[in-house]
Structure 1
Amino acid sequence: MTDEPGLVEPEAHRGLTPNVRGALWMLASALGFTAMTTLIKFLGDDYPAALQTFYRQAAGFAVLLPVILRQGRAAFATTRPGILFFRSAAGTIAMILSFYAFQKMPLADANALSFTRTLWLVPLAAFVVREKVGPLRVAAAGVGFGGVLLMLRPGAGGDFALGVPALAMLAASFLFALTITGMKVMTRDHSPTVLLVWAMTLGLIFSLPGAFLTWRWPEPVDLALLCIMGVLGTVTQACYIKGMQVGDAAAMAPIDYIRLVFTALAGFVLFHEVPTVWTLSGAAVVVASTLLITWREHQLSKVRSRPAGA
């Protein structure tokens, strides 16, 4: 029996191909993400982003608590706690910023900007991990950031649409990309369980000051919704990881963009938000660029894994 936290596949999935099974997990992740961001926005008037982040981290820690109790000190075994502290601090700040953006922006706009984390990975891979970045990846990232400008710059009457919430989401995407880069470094000698336990434990600790400064006692119904929002965040992440694990990464990446459709529908039906042509056009450019980068990464990984002389 494995100690790695994960999801067990239903019996109905067993007869399906790996990519179909992975696609179902990715769809579940997209639905969970949409429900979570809808609750973030719905509760945003009464519960600030810092307080919502605390509930998100508390739910994740509660899910992992049985693993921590079972493994004891082994769940925290590490030789590089400094990087883990930095990743968790950056991840907590990123979560607060992204929650703030989801509260203040139309869901479709905020979700489209959240995908820029894939674009940030290109310069981070070059400067932090010292990976060789080819001209195709650089060009794709440049075009993708052009799509971001397309979403943000034009607005009603020719005004700039770039505001604090949009800047918050871009900053959150950069910080999330930074944590992903750090994870790539740490996975060389750390198990996924150790990384997840450190992230959730430190994330809960780092979210305490913000929760303390913005604290208010929730009504019973609000408390239930906040707990559901936190659990959805953990389940969404688990479904995403499972989908990527079961299916081919290059095939799974496009499915993740169904989140754009789900959040746009939720924003329209529940909050009467209508995406602008600039949002739709810019999002299309960002999606195309990130898909190209993902495909390129997949091709390079196949070349690296090919035996010498093959």
Structure 2
Amino acid sequence: MVASALGFTVMTTLIKFLGDDYPAALQTFYRQVAGFVILIPFIINRRGAAFATTRPGILLFRSAAGTLGMILSFYAFQKMPLADANALSFTRTLWLVPLAFFIVREPVGPMRIGAALVGFAGVLIMVRPGADGEFAIGWPAAAMLASSFLFALTITGMKVMTRDHSPMVLLVWSATLGLVFALPGALFVWRWPEPFDLFLLSVMGVVGTLTQGFYIKGMSIGDAGAMAPIDYIRLVFAAGAGFLLFNELPTIWTLMGAAVVVVSTLFITWREQQIARQARL
């Protein structure tokens, strides 16, 4: 989980560094290319089994939502301070509460609902709508919030799909369809990268894929209630990278709002673990 947090910080730092010359849609395409290339040996080895599915519609929806979410998050990381963008990205856990009720049909009690509402209050502290007589949220923050919602949709879809699909099959479909969906947006802003930029874009894509793998591995071998808090260390990494490389300092509003969001999402994670344990008894 620590490796995942560090890898995520490296990826977002490269996103921001390359952002002036390579728009979010183009960076997303290179990210998907790297993810697909890494999976080619598995696809060749398993052939048809790598794409075996009985629910192509959900896979198409997940990949479309995930690709759009990635473009929006890349845009936010390019335009916002790294610490601010990372803090807003954690709101995906808050979106999972209503989605679990409406889509997965999971029971949602007053404690989880209350924690989600407190978390969204933390978001309002960070974006401060109406501050200084203006709507302070801005397009980058709105993009990150929309991205978090889309990623929550993909996580919810994954919960449904894992009932009869292996994680590797889902990863293959996600990488393949993600590459297809990312291509049209990249063509609108296409430019051939310089050799060194191509190297950095490739590193960004590979690190992004490895980060996802580290996260899945950490959550699979450790208790989710214990592992999830470790992911928040990327707030520290992001603040450090932003200060050292881009001369960014998080505002007091970001720190206060992030603290509220972190506490509420940790409570939701703990509550879900308690419910899961009770169901097993």
**TM interval, short-chain normalised:** over 0.9
- Pair 1:237 & 2:212 matched: yes
Q: Which runs of 5+ in 2 are unaligned?
A: none
Alignment-mate amino acid for residue 210 of structure 1: G
Q: Distance in 2 between matches of 1:243 and 1:194?
A: 19
Secondary structure of 1:133's partner?
Answer: coil
Query: Does residue 72 of structure 2 align to residue 94 of structure 1?
Result: no
Residue equivalent to 2:257: 282
Match of 1:82 among 57, 63, 66: 57
Counterpart amino acid of residue 12 in structure 2: T
Distance, in Å, in 2 between the alignment partners of 1:158 and 1:228 is 42
CA distance in 1, matches of 2:131, 2:163: 49
- Higher-Rg structure is 1
- Matched residues, percent identical? 76
Letter in 2 for 1:226: L
Equivalent position of 2:171 in the other structure: 196
Indicate which of 153, 175, 190 corresponds to 2:128.
153
Q: Return the alpha-carbon distance in structure 2 between the equivalents of residues 237 and 269 of structure 1.
A: 25
How far the C-alpha of 1:157 sits from its partner, in A, is 4.2
Write the letter of the residue equivalent to 2:232.
Answer: Y
The DSSP-based 3-state class of the residue aligned with 2:21 is coil
Residue of structure 2 equivalent to 1:17: none
What residue identity is the alignment partner of 1:259?
Answer: R
Question: CA, structure 1 residues 142+156, in 2 after alignment: closer, same or farther (shift >3 Å)?
Answer: closer
Kindly state the Cα deviation for residue 125 of structure 1 after the two structures are TM-superposed: 0.5
Give distance in 1, aligned partners of 2:133 and 2:216.
41
Give the residue type in structure 1 aligned to 2:241. A
Distance 2:47 2:135 in 1: 53
Q: Secondary structure at the match of 2:168?
A: helix
SS in 2 for 1:113: helix
Say how many residue pairs are matched: 281
Deviation of residue 159 (structure 1)?
A: 3.9
Query: What whole-Å deviation, never above 9, does each CA across 1:74-93 have from its counterpart, x for those lacking one?
Result: 11111110000000000000
Alignment-mate amino acid for residue 63 of structure 1: I
1:292 has 2:273 as partner: no
Match of 1:251 among 207, 223, 226: 226
Residue 190 of structure 2 is aligned to residue 215 of structure 1: yes
Preserved CA contact (<8 Å) 1:154 1:278: no
| Letter of the structure 2 residue corresponding to residue 134 of structure 1 | G
What is the root-mean-square deviation in Å for CA atoms of aligned residues?
Answer: 1.0
> Partner of 2:192: helix, strand, or coil?
coil
Secondary structure at 1:257 match in 2: helix
Query: Could you report, residue by residue, the CA deviation over 1:225-273 in whole angstroms, capped at 9, with x for unpaired residues?
Result: 0000000100100111111111111000110000000001100111011
Contact 1:64 1:197 in 2 (8 A): yes
Between Structure 1 and Structure 2, the one with more helix by share is: 2
Instruction: Please report the TM-score for the alignment, with normalisation by the length of structure 2.
Output: 0.98
2:239 alignment partner, SS class: helix
* Separation in 2, partners of 1:287, 1:231: 28
Per-residue CA deviations over 1:136-178 (Å, capped at 9, x if unaligned) read 0000000000000000016874643201000000000000000
Deviates more, 1:141-150 or 1:235-244: 235-244
1:173 aligns with 2:145: no
Indicate the residue corresponding to 2:27 in structure 1: 52
Compared CA separation, residues 221 and 155, structure 1 to 2 (3 A): farther
Partner amino acid for 2:137?
A: L
Q: Which runs of 5+ in 1 are unaligned?
A: 1-25
Q: Structure 1: how far apart are the matches of 2:246 and 2:189? A: 25
